[in-house]
Chain A
Amino acid sequence: METPQLSSLYQQLILEHYRNPRNKGELEEKTVEIHMANPVCGDEIRLQLRIEGNRIEDVKFLGSGCSISQASVSMMTIRLKGSSIDQADELAKRFTDMMHGDESAVKEKSLGDLRALQGVSKFPVRIKCALLGFDALQEALKKEAGVVEEGAT
């Protein structure tokens, strides 16, 4: 396997989010919370969302883990605040595409700071770190959709 460059992995922006995570803390009045852990490495996050109607009104997270997992969640929360459920869903899809090597995703402005994580796709064993927050997001959206459906019947 070709040796990937460390500099493409550990970009300053990633280390900056790792050290100064955005939206970290407890969310009062959350409507959904997902605890997601990677048992292999011990990374974990608790993603909390307040969803009203079709909008993510607020989002926060708690957690610990490697620079990639924590920076990824931090960057994700910035994009989520104020977005619609569909936009959040699309964000998760585009980010996952980027992790699986889709280079066109990098040009997408909607990914914001998350584009700095593109280098992770060259480190196969670390992709799951970058996806931890998005896995939690997708679970949260599923759970929220379930609540709505249950409420409708």
Chain B
Amino acid sequence: MSIEDFDPIRIRKDFPALDQTVHGKPLAYLDNAATSQKPRAVLDVLSEYYEKDNANVHRGIHELSRRATVAFEAAREKVASWINAPSAAECVWTRGTTEAINLVATAWGLDHVGKGDEILISVMEHHSNIVPWQLLAARTGATLKYIEIDDEGRLVLDGLESLLTERTKIVSISDVSNSLGTINPVKKIVDASRAVGAIVMVDGAQGVVHTKVDVQDLGCDFYAFGGHKMCGPTGVGVLWGRLELLEAMSPFQGGGEMIQIVGRDQSSWAAVPHKFEAGTPNIAGAIGLGAAVDYLSKIGTKAISMHENEIMAYAMEQLSLIPGLRIFGPSSLEDRSAVISFTMGDAHPHDISTILDTEGVAIRAGHHCAQLVMKHFGVPATARASFYLYSTREDVDRLVKGLDQVAAIFG
């Protein structure tokens, strides 16, 4: 689809869940950073799979198993090309971003990180890119270090060289912040980390949704993302890793599918990526994510991000007119993704969210699994509106109208 043809009103028709009323008002769904709605194309693929092809993968000789396996592996090819991975064998199916990070922290981390070594993350990270490293540090005696953030929610990279030492084994950083929307200069961090020989993992849970990701261009070693924020089903995600790293790694979990030969005392492992896929995988989920990639590819990442930028510019302009409203994160639009975190006077974000909900406007309120960010800004929580390809100016207007109600009650 060309950029001129992009029409959010027509796109909305692809998403059945958007066409409903909530508390008697048409739904304005602005909680996309938590999860996106699913297009009909994905929902159809899910039910078709269960109605026609349902079978276990990689182990049956029968026709249904063959079909399921073909579709499952075709989906792997699709996600590989979505992030420009050199090969589909480098894409491991996981339950989501969180499991992908835990996989690296455990399977790679326990073999390569030892006492006195350092792990570098940032204050901006989602809990899923903090806690796995805390666990690894506790198990190995390594030190967890942080890149700080400034008052606009940007990474403070001035002192990066001093944070990176020859003891730094791994750096794990998000390409886009879920709580602030900040777009991070990942390539710069990759280059600096490489200089000290550290491995770099990128948490792409938000980034993969809003930008064209090219793992070869980024130059990182691992890239993790989930399917459900990009029109796919919940419970499925991808860990991309450099082949030589994945091949040298110990398994993550043991079970069926990940073995070659099982003996009484020891076993040998299947080839990558199956070595990391113990047990029956989320077959329908993977196929559904493949369908989501097809759907998004047809529309085009460029058209989607241009649309999001336009909605963001409008939303930032409208929200900044509201008295007492404080917006967190970078002030320049170039450095931020389709997320606006805010507070309003002394109305607590939960109260804001409840009031908006009665107006049919769905936003997120809370710490967004980023308690270190909340602490940095000295707030217990924020309200967060987040946009996607089907968001419209009308959604923004509905948000603003709902915030008038907040002012009426708390003002």
Contacts and interface: CB of A to CB of B under 8 A. Distances in A.
A19 B380 contact: no
Contact of B366 (A40, A64, A123): A40
B358 to A, nearest CB: 5
Contact of B380 (A10, A40, A42): A42
B351 interface: yes
A118 to B, nearest CB: 16
Contacts of B346: 18-19
Contacts of B350: 41, 43, 65-66, 68, 126, 129
Given A41-B381, A65-B348, A6 B366 contact: no
Interface string A1-45: 101101001100001001100000000000000000000111110
Contact of B409 (A1, A4, A10, A66): A10
Contact of B354 (A40, A43, A126): A126
A34 B410 CA distance: 30
A13 to B, nearest CB: 13
Contact of B355 (A6, A64, A68): A6
Contacts of A65: 348, 350, 380
Contacts of B280: none
A42 B381 CA distance: 7
A83 interface: no
Given A4-B358, A15-B410, A42 B367 contact: yes
Contacts of A66: 348-351
A67 interface: yes
Nearest to B366: A41
A21 B23 CA distance: 32
Contacts, number: 51
A122 to B, nearest CB: 11
B402 to A, nearest CB: 11
Contact of B365 (A6, A15, A19, A41): A41
A65 B23 CA distance: 25
Given A42-B371, A67-B348, A123 B365 contact: no
Nearest to A41: B366
B374 interface: yes
A6 B358 contact: yes
A3 B348 contact: no
B351 A10 contact: yes
B405 interface: yes
B263 interface: no
Contacts of B355: 6, 10
A123 B354 contact: yes
Contact of A6 (B348, B371, B380, B405): B405
A65 B365 CA distance: 12
Which of A43, A67, A126 is most buried by chain B, counting CB atoms within 10 A of its CB?
A67
Interface in B367-385: 367, 371, 374, 380-381
Given A41-B381, A44-B380, 14 more contacts: A1-B23, A3-B358, A6-B354, A6-B355, A41-B367, A42-B374, A43-B350, A64-B380, A65-B348, A65-B380, A66-B348, A66-B350, A67-B347, A67-B351
